[in-house]
Amino acid sequence: MWRSILASYGTHGSLELAEIAAENLFEMEPDNAGNYVLLSNAYSANKKWKKAAKVKMLLKENEMKKETGKSWIEIKDKVHVFIAGERKHPRMADIYLELDKFLEVMKKLGYKAEIDYDLHDVDENRKEELLRHHSEKLALIFGLISLPPALPIRIMKNLRICGDCHSFMNLASSITKRDIIVRDVNRFHHFKDGCCSCREFW
């Protein structure tokens, strides 16, 4: 319960409630790095950069490591894993080329990167670039160029999908006329015809 409060109130509600939830989580699970990451994200979402940096410093001091965000997709009985900013995949050049083309189409239909979901203290252009390279977007594009048109695309993610990627998947399902299923750490998101099964609650 406390983790849900921290995750939701930290980014969409009361920072004070998020801090109370974090205190309770730190008492219950002092070695869980994920709780520190959620609090840091809450501070970042509310532009409290110094507080976010302090929480990140606590993570380092306590030698806890933040889990790296990954997405994976199975194509022809082989699992392909993507990390944000991935460069090692053998088809990376094709993926980035197709991603750029796809983003151009999306922008013409009204898509704009939701930079508030990037929680780094950097300028807007850099935020947009970081969002562009999220692992689930890379996995989606790889699925689009690798699977026959009629097949749904199924992606797994080890962390929670961000709001920008959620909007991206919604629009992608409408453009491609495909079902896109993303299983994040919280739930299944079934995107179809521009809508998600979660009804925008994630």
Q: What does the pLDDT average to over 172-195? A: 94
Strand order in the sheet with 188-192: 78-83, 70-75, 153-157, 180-183, 188-192, 195-196
Cβ neighbourhood burial of 150 (10 Å; 0-12, 13-18, 19+): exposed
Range from 32-36, 52-56, 72-76 that averages highest in pLDDT: 72-76
Decide if 196 contacts 190 (C-beta within 8 A): yes
Rounded to whole angstroms, how far apart are CA atoms 51 and 79? 38
Q: For the full predicted model, state whether its pTM sits above 0.75.
A: no
Angle 189-121-131 from CA coordinates, rounded to 5°? 30
Rounded to whole angstroms, how far apart are CA atoms 151 and 169? 16
Rounded to whole angstroms, how far apart are CA atoms 93 and 173? 23
CA distance from start to end of the chain: 15
Q: pLDDT higher for 150 or 104?
A: 104
- Position 1 scores a pLDDT of 75
**In the chain, where the domains are located:** 1-62, 70-196
Over the stretch 60-111, which tens digit does the pLDDT of each residue have?
A: 777 776 678 899 999 999 999 999 887 889 999 999 999 999 999 989 988 8
At residue 144 the predicted structure's pLDDT band, cuts being 50, 70 and 90, is: very high
Q: Which among 83, 77, 17, 6 is positioned nearest to 39, based on CA atoms?
A: 6
